[in-house]
Chains A and B, each alone.
Chain A
Amino acid sequence: MPRKALDLMTESMFYSIMAFLTGPRCGTEITAFVEKLTEGRVQLGPGTLYTILNKFLEVGYLREVSQEGRKRTYALTGEGRKAYEQELERLRRCIRDAQRAASFAPEEGGVPNGVDQDLASAPLPAL
Chain B
Amino acid sequence: MAWTRTWRLPPCPPYDVEGMESWLGDMAARGWMLEKDGFFLGTASFVRGEPAHVRYRLAAAQKKAGLWDADSGAPSREARELNEDFGWEYVDRRGQFYIYRNTDSEARELETDPRVQALAIRAVEKRRRGDLLFLLVYWLLCGLLWFRKGSTLLLASYSGLLVPLLFLLVLLGALGCLLGELGYLRRLKRKLRAGTPPDHGRDWKKRRIRYFGLRAVFLFLFLLYCVLGLKLLNAEIMREGRVALSDYPGVPPFATLRDFAEGEYRETWADTRFDYVSEWSNALLLSGMQWREHADVSRPDGTTLRGGLYVDYFAARSEWLARLIAAEYRRADRVKARKNYEPLALPDLGLEEQAAYRNELHFPTLVLRRGCTVLCATFYQTGEDAPIPLEEWAAILADSIR
Are B77's CB and A45's CB within 8 A? no
Which residue on chain B has the smallest CB distance to residue A27?
Answer: B82
Q: A17 near B: Cβ within 8 Å?
A: no
Q: B194 near A: Cβ within 8 Å?
A: no
Are A12's CB and B82's CB within 8 A? no
Inside 8 A of A8's CB, which chain B residues have their CB? 115, 119
Q: A66 near B: Cβ within 8 Å?
A: no
Q: A103 near B: Cβ within 8 Å?
A: no
Q: A48 near B: Cβ within 8 Å?
A: yes
The listed residue (A27, A28, A45) touching B112 by CB distance below 8 A is A45
Are B108's CB and A43's CB within 8 A? yes
What does the 1/0 interface line of A66-93 toward B look like (CB < 8 Å)? 0000101000000000000000000000
Q: A55 near B: Cβ within 8 Å?
A: yes
The listed residue (A11, A12, A28) touching B85 by CB distance below 8 A is A28
Known A-B contacts A8-B119, A27-B78, A43-B108; A48 and B113 likewise in contact (beta carbons under 8 Å)? yes
B119 shortest CB reach to chain A, Å: 6
B228 shortest CB reach to chain A, Å: 46
Are B86's CB and A10's CB within 8 A? no
The listed residue (B78, B79, B81, B109) touching A45 by CB distance below 8 A is B109
Q: A105 near B: Cβ within 8 Å?
A: no
Inside 8 A of A43's CB, which chain B residues have their CB? 108, 112
Are A10's CB and B117's CB within 8 A? no
Inside 8 A of B83's CB, which chain A residues have their CB? 46-47, 50
Are A70's CB and B111's CB within 8 A? no
Inside 8 A of B62's CB, which chain A residues have their CB? 54
What's the Cα separation between A36 and B62 when bound, in Å? Answer: 29
Are A51's CB and B116's CB within 8 A? yes
What's the Cα separation between A20 and B82 when bound, in Å? Answer: 18
What's the Cα separation between A52 and B85 when bound, in Å? Answer: 17
Are A47's CB and B115's CB within 8 A? no
Are B82's CB and A48's CB within 8 A? no
Are A28's CB and B120's CB within 8 A? no
What's the Cα separation between A72 and B80 when bound, in Å? Answer: 13
The listed residue (B59, B81, B110, B113) touching A12 by CB distance below 8 A is B113
Q: A19 near B: Cβ within 8 Å?
A: no
Q: A44 near B: Cβ within 8 Å?
A: yes
Q: A111 near B: Cβ within 8 Å?
A: no
What's the Cα separation between A27 and B77 when bound, in Å? Answer: 13
Q: B57 near A: Cβ within 8 Å?
A: yes
Inside 8 A of A12's CB, which chain B residues have their CB? 112-113, 116
Q: B276 near A: Cβ within 8 Å?
A: no
Known A-B contacts A28-B85, A72-B78; A46 and B110 likewise in contact (beta carbons under 8 Å)? yes
Chain A 5-28 interface residues, beta-carbon cutoff 8 Å to B: 8, 10-13, 27-28
Inside 8 A of A47's CB, which chain B residues have their CB? 57, 59, 83, 88, 100, 110-111, 117, 120
Q: A120 near B: Cβ within 8 Å?
A: no
Inside 8 A of B116's CB, which chain A residues have their CB? 10, 12-13, 48, 51-52, 55
Are A10's CB and B113's CB within 8 A? yes
What's the Cα separation between A47 and B117 when bound, in Å? Answer: 8
Which residue on chain A has the smallest CB distance to residue B98?
Answer: A47
A33 shortest CB reach to chain B, Å: 15
Chain B 79-97 interface residues, beta-carbon cutoff 8 Å to A: 79, 81-83, 85-86, 88
Inside 8 A of A48's CB, which chain B residues have their CB? 110-113, 116-117
Inside 8 A of A28's CB, which chain B residues have their CB? 82, 85
B164 shortest CB reach to chain A, Å: 45
Chain B 105-143 interface residues, beta-carbon cutoff 8 Å to A: 108-113, 115-117, 119-120
Which residue on chain B has the smallest CB distance to residue A10?
Answer: B115
Are A51's CB and B110's CB within 8 A? no
Inside 8 A of A51's CB, which chain B residues have their CB? 60, 116-117, 119-120
Are B112's CB and A44's CB within 8 A? yes
Are B82's CB and A50's CB within 8 A? yes
Inside 8 A of A10's CB, which chain B residues have their CB? 113, 115-116
What's the Cα separation between A12 and B82 when bound, in Å? Answer: 17
List B residues at the A interface (Cβ < 8 Å): 57, 59-60, 62, 77-79, 81-83, 85-86, 88, 100, 108-113, 115-117, 119-120
Q: What 11 additional pairs, Cβ within 8 angstroms, besides A46-B85, A47-B88?
A: A13-B113, A27-B82, A45-B110, A45-B112, A46-B110, A48-B111, A50-B78, A51-B116, A52-B116, A55-B119, A70-B78
* 18 A-B contacts (beta carbon < 8 Å): A10-B115, A13-B113, A27-B78, A46-B82, A46-B85, A47-B88, A47-B100, A47-B110, A47-B111, A48-B112, A48-B113, A48-B116, A51-B60, A51-B119, A51-B120, A70-B77, A70-B78, A70-B81
In the A-B complex, the 9 residue pairs with the smallest Cβ-Cβ separation, listed nearest first, are A45-B112, A47-B110, A12-B113, A46-B83, A47-B111, A51-B120, A27-B82, A48-B113, A46-B82
